[in-house]
Amino acid sequence: MVNEDLASLVARVVSETPAFDMHTHLYAPEMGSLLLCGADAALNFHYLVSESFRVHHMPYRKFWALSKAQRAEVVWNALFRDTSPVSEAASGVIEMARAMGCDTDRLTLTALRETLSDVPTAEYISRIMNLANVTHIVMTNDPFDDQETAFWQAMDTMDKRFLASLRIDRLMNQYSTVAPVLAGKGYDVDPSLSGRSIAELRRFLEDCADAVHPVYVAFSAADDLTYPEETGPRGRILREVVLPFCRERGIPLSLMIGARRRVNPALHDAGDSVVQADVRPVESLCADYPDNRFLVSMLARENQHALVVAARKFHNLMPFGCWWFVNTDTLVEEITRMRLELLGPTFVAQHSDARVLEHLIYKWQRARRVLTRVLVDKYQSLQDSGWPVTEEVVRRDVERLFSGNFKQFVGWA
């Protein structure tokens, strides 16, 4: 039987401790329409879109030909009118509606539209961040997205709560398609990485970093990440460009492994899937590059244990968050328990992956509920063994899990 005092102490400290959201798809408000918010954006979230097809079975083309507002209605009807919203993403809508003051007893799409704002004013952003108790939001900044890079020169003057991360998926995974783009921008590179290509790719990364000051550099991979990687350009770009760049600038490299892209392209962003990957390339990178730091999240449930064990072996490896398909109540609990049991509170407990501003609310409320459950259990055992579990102790641990470990790892002051 859990001691009630301990349970409420932990719940209070977890809810009071601010989180540093180290991976999102949100953007500073100065970046205009890139920052999504409001009911229609929330209902167009790709998690909900893919779930809605299981109910309405609409032809894909017909769905995508609809306006954003019409698609929101289709999703609403499928997941909230014709079905009970019990899934993680659907129940998240209810949770955020309630936190924003909607009457969830008789929630309608109209009420949701009236309550959530489509315009991310400074006050609205502050309100959402306060509800989520999030102090900082790390964006995902793609140097090959022209809509985004148009804002990069002004990045220094933007809302300081939003920080950049340099997302180089296209450079790493589609080099042959970006080489001509880079050449067009004045970098002397070619698809076979000959001549000055390596030095010029380094210059490209330096220019990007000077513009956005990323807290880390990141790329995602499926199960094809090998190390050393001898075929294709990625291995060379990693060894000769990205790792030295990160090392010399003191920036960690974030690897997001296990996303199998466009398994069903007709679903657009909702069409990506999961694949079990090999943890050995991560171990080898950590071993061969002790002066580099690696943030790693893996998408497959089956990879979580090996990743945690790898983090016991390599202190330059920081497991982070419970990503996408493992960001469900059951799996977050399993993963968080496993990490605490094998690593103590030395990992990054969660990131939101929010695509719509209001997502911060339910994603963080849930992260807090699960962490509370797990910590109460762990502290109860300690207390039963006579170890003093004070508020100070709980606060220190939760602060590390929600922000301190990340800040220390990226050297963020």
Residues within the interface to ligand FIX (CB under 6 A)? 25, 140, 220, 256, 259, 269, 272, 324, 353, 355
Stretch that binds Zn ion, among 1-9, 38-46, 312-320, 345-353 (CB under 5 A): 345-353
Q: Shortest distance, CB of residue 335 to ligand FIX, whole angstroms?
A: 15
The size of the interface with Zn ion (CB under 5 A), counted in residues, is 1
Q: Shortest distance, CB of residue 411 to Zn ion, whole angstroms?
A: 22
Q: Shortest distance, CB of residue 3 to ligand FIX, whole angstroms?
A: 36
Choose between 49 and 374: whose C-beta lies nearer to ligand FIX: 49
Instruction: Say which entry of ligand FIX, Zn ion, none residue 220 contacts (CB below 5 to 8 A, set by partner kind).
Output: ligand FIX
Choose between 239 and 261: whose C-beta lies nearer to ligand FIX: 261
Instruction: Provide the 8-state DSSP code for 74.
Output: H
Q: What's the half-sphere exposure (Cβ side, CA atoms, 13 Å) at 375? A: 30
Closest listed residue to residue 358, CA positions, set 155, 148, 94, 111 = 94
Choose between 24 and 52: whose C-beta lies nearer to Zn ion: 24
Residue owning tokens 């466009």: 262
The structure tokens listed for 26 are: 């949100």
Coil, helix or strand for 318?
strand
Instruction: Say which entry of Zn ion, ligand FIX, none residue 268 contacts (CB below 5 to 8 A, set by partner kind).
Output: none
Q: Which of 51, 142, 169, 353 binds Zn ion (CB under 5 A)?
A: 353
Choose between 353 and 399: whose C-beta lies nearer to Zn ion: 353
Going 286 to 289 to 295 to 297, the CA torsion angle's sign is negative
360, 129 Cβ separation under 8 angstroms: yes
Choose between 359 and 378: whose C-beta lies nearer to ligand FIX: 359
Partners of residue 348 on adjacent β-strands: 320
Closest listed residue to residue 129, CA positions, set 29, 256, 49 = 29
Please name the residues in contact with 344: beta carbons below 8 A apart, sequence gap of 6 or more.
none
- Based on the shown chain and the rule CB under 5 A, indicate whether residue 142 belongs to the binding site for Zn ion: no
Choose between 319 and 404: whose C-beta lies nearer to ligand FIX: 319
Stretch that binds Zn ion, among 98-106, 147-155, 351-359, 397-405 (CB under 5 A): 351-359
Alpha-carbon gap, residue 89 to 270, rounded angstroms: 13
Pattern of binders to Zn ion over 267-286, x per CB under 5 A?
--------------------
Closest listed residue to residue 244, CA positions, set 301, 186, 278, 201 = 201
- How many CB atoms neighbour CB 342 within 10 A? 15
160, 136 Cβ separation under 8 angstroms: no
Coil, helix or strand for 233?
coil
Instruction: Say which entry of ligand FIX, Zn ion, none residue 372 contacts (CB below 5 to 8 A, set by partner kind).
Output: none
Choose between 22 and 102: whose C-beta lies nearer to Zn ion: 22
Q: Which spans of this chain sit near Zn ion (rule: CB under 5 A)?
A: 353
